[in-house]
Structure 1
Amino acid sequence: MESLDQTKPFSRRDAVETHAAGTDAVSSCAPESISRENTAGKTILFVQYTDPALYPPLERAAWMLAAAGWRVRFIGIAAENSALTLAPRPGISCRLLRHRSDPVSRLLSYVRFAAACIGEARRLRPDVVYCSDFRSFPIGLALASTTRVKTVLHEHDSPIVGGGLAASALLKARSAFARRATLCVIPQDERAARFRSATGAARVVVANNCPSLAELVEPAPKPEDALALWYHGSISPDQFPETLIEAMRLLPSDVRLDFAGYETIGNCGYVDRFLGLADAAGLAARVRYLGAFPERAKLLERASEAHIGLALLARAFREPIAGASNKPFDYLACGLPLLTNDTAEWDAFFGNAGVSLGCDPSRPEDIARAVTWYRNNPGERRAMAERGRQKIRDVWNYETQFAKVIEALNA
């Protein structure tokens, strides 16, 4: 089988072909011949009412299953504001439908999506249906209730729902599916305990959102006469706070800040605003936005050129986050020690492992203090980076985290 790192990305523009009726779209993440490979093995259908390319754990799971001889099929919704794509690999294919945002079309889009999922399940007759977002759970429940297919509920984040009949129905479907699914996968220990209590689920495993061993990046040579801070991911005030600008102003001129990623729907224009603040502070040459990287391997390669990875939340997250966020693990795989919130949760998970420093992200002077320590202690910084990479090799990798899931699917 082809090595996992010998791939080329596909273009979203080339991938999505609109039907003549204009009601939805299909994308093919791999050559048509892939759908005919591994026919003697098992088949898994990933169902997600979002774009699976935005969820690295799903792609890693697909890699592992395909490498073991499974035929993997994704069905999801094409994201409009992200350049990320699933890279084509043998045994993996993908169908993406378009989503309409106005209320009436949104309902029709969901009905079409549910019908498409049921159609895919009837056509493929998969051994496993893997549902990994809130709106895919009713589909998983329907299939679990009417067929003998194994089902997996994977909840990346607990749902935020308002009132109304639709929200109530979705929550009831979540609980019913959690009790009926073959397995439930939750990315963090405390979240798993809350999930069990809320849903009555009995078969729950925890899989932290770690990178694959194949994603370990050999750190690029780094100049020691400068210090590069790095951030990648969704770009919003909550995860990439403006206090970083003032912190940069307090730091020596040999410290720079590079960031990459995409704006979230509710924060369009934030990149321009952030760069405008940097320019007004005289930091235009030291604060750089590198855009969105369509290919994850290229993103991690670029991250490895920096010295410190930023995982700062401007305010308390609504649920436990350490272990569920893939960002810190990405940084460690690239050879970057972490700058995180100075809280008991982050310190217990990453600080006690000797791979992070904490600060208060609401106070620029505290951010500058922590960055200055890294700048003035390059030997310890390098040791922290190597400890982080070793933790990735030993336990913070998806091969280890996902092993219980694969064991259950193969049973």
Structure 2
Amino acid sequence: MSVRPRLSDTAAILISPGAVDAYPPVQCQARLLSEAGYAVEVVTTFRKGAQAMAFAAPGVKVTIVHPPWCRGLSRMHRTTSFLAKITAARLAARGKRLVEIAFDPLGMLYSDMAPFRPSLRGAHFHESLQHIETSRVEQRLRLSLGRYQFCMAPDEDRAQHIRTVLSLKDRFLVVPNYPLRDGAGETLQVGKTPGFEVVYCGTIGETQKIDMIAASVEQWPGDAQFTIIGDDASPLATRLKSGLSSRVNIEGWMPYDLLRNRLASARLGISLLEGASFQWRSALGASNKRYQYMQAGLAQIGDGNPGVPGLIEGNGIGICLKTVSPGDIAAAVALYCNTPERCVMEGRRARRLYWQRYNYDRCFAPVIEMIEHRLQHQALAS
């Protein structure tokens, strides 16, 4: 779906308490709104431990609030800083047709508290509501969410869950967490690392079964190796480092714009999310690593969570494990290591599907058209 150029009198404010560097949906929406003609300002924080901002895009201003992990910085101080930056962004956009998108319950709290509230606001939920019984920030949404003109979630099950727990009648716009469509076309040409590299990118935690994957490596074929890309300061990553074999490597966090080519230099992707919690059972559209592997032209090993086998095996781009153990993982890796032609074929198919269907440009275009329609309607009514 194409998006026609917009007029120069439009602006968008994106409120992201989570660091934009670690939050691909904010990056994607900022870029696409800018390309559609909006003057975009992102109000956000630094990624923990970062000394500079990695994200930058033409037509996008990034406003940094004091990082929340600063020593001695209270919750009230952080809230005050966010409100000041949001207010300044709203005042700077006065006279323009303005849409504001707040990300996750904390961003919605800041959007609600700041003065000069825009007449068109959207609420973007990336996670499910996990603390609705104990969190005042989440509980308040039962009343405040009615003051938003549209809501988004990355997965249909998460959208339905949020509607149910908040007693909402309006349906959510489902915008899966796909990568932006790049300019490389349907076929991606990137040199491969020596041997047979299996790669994981994302959060390094217990619920991603990274420790089990690492433990299975000793059963992999001799030239197979495992690379982990993510925050190497996480508790699990710190523990893993002390006992890693020479065939397991943790490369650390990588800027989103560099990730595609790094993934593409591997042979196979893997993602095995724990299925016990609703958060992970509803991650079909939310977990972007599956689609990043597709963008990179990789076949992949996946889990059996709802919708995942249909996405991966149904499209012929990988296999899903019915049971997950070190032996199961090793057998799946050996299958691809011993049939490299299958690896290549499924990877090419995955890249083609990403280019044609599983990209953020395609799924976010209806949202931009909806925003433009509402802004035009508001302008005619004023």
Q: TM-score range by the shorter chain?
A: 0.7 to 0.9
- Secondary structure at the aligned position of 2:284 is classed as coil
Match of 2:251 among 290, 293, 296: 290
Structure 2: runs of 5 or more not aligned: 1-5, 374-382
Shift of 1:147: 4.2
What SS class does the counterpart of residue 202 from structure 2 fall into?
strand
Q: Which residue of 2 aligns with 1:135?
A: 106
Corresponding residue to 1:182 among 123, 134, 149: 149
Cα deviation for residue 324 of structure 1 reads 1.0
Q: Contact (CA 8 Å) 2:123, 2:148: kept in 1 or not?
A: yes
Kindly report which structure 2 residues correspond to 1:239-254, keeping only aligned pairs within 5 A, or say none: 239-254=208-223
1:153-200 CA distance string (max 9 Å, x none): 000002333766xx23x2243233432312111101111122222231
Structure 1 unaligned residues grouped into runs of 5+:
1-37
Q: Which amino acid aligns with 2:105?
A: F
Aligned to 1:54: 22
Distance 2:260 2:11 in 1: 30
Render the CA deviation track for 1:39-87: whole Å, top value 9, x for unaligned. 9331101112221221112111111111121100011122223578443
Distance verdict in 2 for CA 1:48–1:87, change over 3 Å: closer
Aligned to 1:155: 125
Q: For the residues of structure 1 that align with 2:16 and 2:153, how far apart are their CA atoms?
A: 16
Q: What's the Cα RMSD here?
A: 2.6
How far apart, in 2, do the equivalents of 1:331 and 1:84 lie?
Answer: 27
Offset of residue 122 of structure 1: 2.4
- State the partner residue of 1:122: 91
Alignment of 1:65 onto 2:33: yes
SS of residue matched to 2:278? coil
| TM-score, with length taken from structure 2 | 0.85
Change (3 A) 1:84 1:324: farther
Change (3 A) 1:312 1:108: same
CA-to-aligned-CA distance 1:6-40 (integer Å, 9 cap, x gap)? xxxxxxxxxxxxxxxxxxxxxxxxxxxxxxxx993
Q: Does 1:273 align with 2:239?
A: yes
1:208 to 159, 176, 195: 176
- Give the SS at the match of 1:44: strand
What letter corresponds to residue 52 of structure 1 in structure 2?
Answer: V
Report 1:225-236 matches (<5 A).
226-236=195-205
Mapped partners of 1:342, 1:81: distance in 2: 34
1:4-403 equivalence runs, <5 A: 40-81=8-49, 85-101=53-69, 105-125=74-94, 127-142=98-113, 147-161=117-131, 167-168=135-136, 170-199=137-166, 200-214=168-182, 218-222=188-192, 226-263=195-232, 267-268=234-235, 270-278=236-244, 283-284=245-246, 286-293=247-254, 295-314=255-274, 316-319=276-279, 320-359=282-321, 362-403=324-365
Cα 1:297–1:120 change in 2 (3 A) is closer
Aligned residue type for 1:256? Q
Query: Which residue type is aligned with residue 241 of structure 2?
Result: L
Identity rate, percent: 21
TM-score, normalization: structure 1? 0.80
C-alpha distance 343-198 of structure 1, shift in aligned 2 (>3 A): closer
- Which string of whole-angstrom CA distances, capped at 9 and with x for unpartnered residues, describes residues 294-325 of structure 1? x3232221110101111112453432111111
* Aligned pairs, number: 360
Cα distance, 1:100–1:197 mapped onto 2, change above 3 Å: closer
Does the CA contact (< 8 Å) of 2:321 and 2:328 recur in 1?
A: yes
